[in-house]
Amino acid sequence: AAAELGPYRHYMQKEIFEQPRAIGDTLQGVEAITPELFGEGAAAILEDIDSVLILACGTSYYAGLTAKYWIESIASITCNVEIASEYRYRTSVPNPRSLVVTISQSGETADTLAALKHARSLGMDKTLTICNVATSAMVRECSLAFLTRAGVEIGVASTKAFSTQLIGLYLLTLTLAKLKGRLNAEQEADAIKALRHLPVAVQSVLALEPQIISWAEEFVRKEHALFLGRGMHYPIALEGALKLKEISYIHAEAYPAGELKHGPLALVTDQMPVITVAPQDQLLQKLKSNMQEVRARGGQLYVFADAGSNIRNEVGVHVIRMPEHYGSLSPILHVVPMQLLAYHTACARGTDVDKPRNLAKSVTVE
Ligand code: G6P
């Protein structure tokens, strides 16, 4: 095992650093946006849908939540995302023209498989999985599949599976947009160019590790943390909070920043670190005023900005600047420092990073 780990201390760290490779592999052979990316016969299914229903658990669920922002804004198709264990037991209104999309690293998560069966039993038989294991039950059970090529993921806390799921979901978004006449040739070429450049962009984010380690050293003594994001970066804040709680055992919560004033602001004191995902997008001005609300209560801000954000280091405001601004694909870049922050905080606290207490890599029983 030591040899396999190479220069890394844990599988999780190795897997975080494998992301440029994993993303590159997942994009291999993607020359154009076409339904065939999702398997034979995909065109007939994808042309016929009027909405998308995503079912997943854990980190895969947060990939789904990110995709909702993409699918509705880029493809203009209604998208609902549900936690599999909830969906399987609630009474919902089935739509036979909905595309059911399961997202799963393992392809064996019991709740996700059961949610898929439940959807099918309600007459929804247009099914697609975004999955990392070609031989899994999920791939066998779904009509269509997009295989992520993250490779074997050993760390219980998912990292490279998440970023490659986002690649699959972005390609699905573009495919649906194209089928609806919402993606012209120029936009398609630009999107493929941006995807192809992603491994390099992720590599440059990984180079921020030393700065993130210095933040992690400040987080060691914290017992609570709040994560904020807006729009398609709200799910990235959720994923950041999940990573931190899973492996460092620090209590962490994520909120869409606009919701601060409806509750979490009551918790903000100078003891509360507030991690903020702050790319340069149309919500940045709003986010900046949310940040001022935190500062006014003495909260310590830890901000992940990007090339266009224009947020400066000052008292109580710590900024790490990502090298590029990446438009729609920005969530894929912004999740990387979340992973590294959780990882290094856990290391500094001396927890069992690859096998956090009480958690399993793949939950194959209910
Ligand atoms: C477990 C793992 C998580 C994972 C979730 C869903 O809770 O610890 O990392 O996100 O299951 O797993 P799946 O294999 O369906 O993506």
Distance between Cα 153 and ligand 1 center (Å): 11
Q: Residue 166 in contact with residue 66, Cβ under 8 Å? A: yes
Rounded CA gap, 211 and 209, in Å?
6
Count Cβ atoms within 10 A of the Cβ of residue 343 and give its class: 0-12 exposed, 13-18 middle, 19 or more buried. Answer: buried
Supply the pLDDT for residue 282: 86
Ligand 1 atom 8: residue of nearest CA: 361
Distance between Cα 358 and ligand 1 center (Å): 13
The string of pLDDT tens digits covering residues 208-259 is: 999 999 999 999 999 999 999 999 999 999 999 999 999 999 999 999 999 9
Rounded CA gap, 279 and 318, in Å?
15
Confidence bin at 85 (pLDDT 50/70/90): very high
CA distances to 75, 79, 211, 273 from 245, in Å: 34, 28, 21, 14
- Ligand 1: does its nearest atom lie under 6 Å from the Cβ of 127? no
**What atom of ligand 1 comes closest to residue 59's alpha carbon?**
10
Q: Please indicate, yes or no, whether the overall pTM of this predicted structure exceeds 0.90.
A: yes
- From the candidates 180, 245, 355, 361, give the one annotated as an active-site residue: 361
Please determine, for residue 1, whether its predicted confidence score (pLDDT) is greater than 60: no
- Ligand 1: does its nearest atom lie under 6 Å from the Cβ of 57? yes
Distance between Cα 214 and ligand 1 center (Å): 29
> What average pLDDT is seen over the chain?
95
Supply the pLDDT for residue 281: 86
Please determine, for residue 181, whether its predicted confidence score (pLDDT) is greater than 70: yes
> What are the structure tokens assigned to 259, written together?
């919701």
Supply the pLDDT for residue 74: 98
Radius of gyration of the chain (CA): 20
Substitution candidate for ligand 1 out of 166, 361, 364, 366 with most atoms within 8 A of CB: 361
- Count of all residues that appear for the chain in the document: 366
Ligand 1 atom 5: residue of nearest CA: 58
Strand order in the sheet with 127-131: 78-83, 51-56, 98-104, 127-131, 144-147
Substitution candidate for ligand 1 out of 61, 106, 364 with most atoms within 8 A of CB: 106
Substitution candidate for ligand 1 out of 82, 105, 243 with most atoms within 8 A of CB: 105
Supply the pLDDT for residue 335: 98
* Strand-pair partners of 144: 128
Count Cβ atoms within 10 A of the Cβ of residue 323 and give its class: 0-12 exposed, 13-18 middle, 19 or more buried. Answer: middle
The string of pLDDT tens digits covering residues 306-362 is: 888 888 899 999 999 998 889 999 999 999 999 999 999 999 999 999 999 999 999
Supply the pLDDT for residue 178: 98
How does strand 273-278 pair with strand 224-229? parallel
How much is the average pLDDT of 160-184? 98
How much is the average pLDDT of 122-131? 98
- Ligand 1: does its nearest atom lie under 6 Å from the Cβ of 355? no
- Ligand 1: does its nearest atom lie under 6 Å from the Cβ of 276? no
Rounded CA gap, 359 and 168, in Å?
26
Identify the DSSP state of 33. Answer: -
Distance between Cα 105 and ligand 1 center (Å): 7
ipTM greater than 0.90, yes or no?
A: yes
Supply the pLDDT for residue 147: 98
How much is the average pLDDT of 265-272? 91
Burial track 102-122 (b if 16+ CB lie within 10 A, e otherwise): bbbbbbbbbbbbbbbebbbeb
Supply the pLDDT for residue 255: 96
> What are the structure tokens assigned to 226, written together?
């709040």
Supply the pLDDT for residue 229: 95
How much is the average pLDDT of 199-210? 97
Please determine, for residue 80, whether its predicted confidence score (pLDDT) is greater than 60: yes
Q: Where are the alpha helices (DSSP H) in 180-304?
A: 185-206, 209-219, 234-248, 284-296
> In the annotation, is 361 catalytic?
yes
The string of pLDDT tens digits covering residues 26-77 is: 999 999 999 999 999 999 999 999 999 999 999 999 999 999 999 999 999 9
- Closest C-alpha to 99, from 73, 112, 84, 81: 81
Please determine, for residue 3, whether its predicted confidence score (pLDDT) is greater than 70: no
Please determine, for residue 2, whether its predicted confidence score (pLDDT) is greater than 60: no
Distance between Cα 56 and ligand 1 center (Å): 9
Rounded CA gap, 141 and 119, in Å?
12
